[in-house]
A and B are shown apart, each in its own frame.
Chain A
Amino acid sequence: EDTIKVGILHSLSGTMAISETTLKDTMLMLIDEQNKKGGLLGKPLEPVVVDPASNWPLFAEKARELLTKDKVAAIFGCWTSVSRKSVLPVVEELNGLLFYPVQYEGEESSKNVFYTGAAPNQQAIPAVDYLMKELKVKRWVLAGTDYVYPRTTNKILEAYLKSKGVKDKDIMINYTPFGHSDWQSIVAEIKKFGSAGKKTAVVSTINGDANVPFYKELANQGISAESIPVVAFSVGEEELSGIDTKPLVGHLAAWNYFMSVDTPENAAFITKWHQFTKDRKRVTNDPMEAHYIGFNMWVKAVEKAGTTDPDAVSKAIIGIEVPNLTGGMAKMLPNHHITKPVLIGEIQEDGQFQTVWQTKTLVEGDAWSDYLPESKSIIAQWTPPINCGNYNTKTKKCSGQKY
């Protein structure tokens, strides 16, 4: 073999294409960059793009195809948790490497997966802290799309809020189906909930397509960021580029990266992105940064190990640090999550976020939430002596691992 193949497993059609296509382009750009620098281990990198078409079983099948047919050294891919769950057994069986770039619900740590997006403690908890401390929010609407990520995140948040003394009657939880488009009643209800005289905020884990009609309805029913701010965990620059943001100014999002961050690394990254896409209007977003970090970590680890062999690479990658785009360093932790800063931003009229708050230090991704009773005692540590993704510190047992 005279090239090193890199699998790119992002949906290019179907419902998730909206989000994932950009990540495919990002990967192509990063690989292109690397090749310009002379490739890896003296060989050029060769991207292998497949389209799992937003179809979850197809993700598994395509992952298998990448690993057995194309023999890729690593896969960068997936967006939704279910697609990752679908791919997981395949990469474990065939001992592949998967770099997963999206914020997610946690409660997982696989030997073969590296989670470069945020765990709940790197996004949700700091955001709620901000609302509580800075905006004096007393009443909470937890609105989400009905699937595992919002469910888990909200569960964690609910536990967290209660631990901070918030009463049941001050928490409203609402779930909607994927792609929900008629938000009239729900927004009206939020409005009512928020008119009880206490500062109210919405914590939104609403996903993808449902956001546009949601924000439009918010705007039309006159809910401004000042009356009831919405802090979203799944709305980034990319999503905003499809919305008329004028009425949304001041609503919030919590991420680990904003395009507006003023650092030289970021400026360079944006310039490269614009050059690569030949489109000066293309925005960058958090999962792109995650791929940027993940890819660079993998490159560094391969160089360190001197091989693309998955076992060697996963051993080498732990502890590796690469610069992120917000001016700090991202480090791969033994639990296969990374360190990240947490940024809270407000939506601006131009569809960008303005950082209004930021953690002082980097936050370490926690695979197993401390706010869920069942996972409190579980830790992930892929270094000896534990070498396990779900090690129960009470029973001293490593559960469910096949190796």
Chain B
Amino acid sequence: MLSVAALNQYYGESHTLWDLSLDIPVGASVALMGRNGVGKTTLLKCIMGLLPVRSGEIRYEDRSLTALRAEQRAELGIGYVPQGREIFPMLTVEENLKTGLRARGDKSKGIPEEIFEIFPVLKTMLRRRGGDLSGGQQQQLAIGRALVLRPKLLILDEPIEGIQPNIVSEIGDVIIRLNRARGKEVHFEKRESSVTDEIRDAIVRVNREMGVTVLLVEQKQHFVKRVADRFLIMDKGRIVAGGTMAELTEDLVRRYLTV
């Protein structure tokens, strides 16, 4: 799905990512871990095209992303939930969600109802300015917004930061469902009338056929353990370890994740 090879990135003169390489298989759910400041966010921004890279190659679905601008990458189906939420503060919740419609490519005018099923609070706040929401509400909005463009690859940078516990577990569910949709039944709670059912079913079907690949930066290990099937560990701008969740040993944690 996504592969990064020999990536080097600099902030001005300071070398942040060093010959970084990684591979994310289709349909995987990968957790990227590492201490503060090792370059996780930087890496995600490079993948998204928001930061220029000095050298190296980023490939997505067998095409090179390197020459593409961020908005073109979005159109290819990469959804991004940034660290710090990055809500459009003066747009209403509804407008925030609508910003993703263009990249969907299917001319739809409305926001898919499933978003509100996942995050009901957004429905009640459609007219409120994004910037007025509480931190946690904003985080939900940020995820919802990324889902609007119906991503094939979903990149999440610390998505549960500041989210109340019960919703954290819901977000976990969402990620799991999006990711494991392939070949499996997906049920979002049905609360709506049957009129929207069809649309939703369609989305669900598409989703199921697609299966969203997930790249997740997260520090909370119990959450990671629940939603990810693979992990990568970063240190000082390099990927230093990786594997299936089962391979995440106490030793690795102590070596790279404790201070």
Q: Do chains A and B touch in the complex (CB under 8 A)?
A: no
Q: Which of B's residues lie within 8 Å of A, judged by CB?
A: none
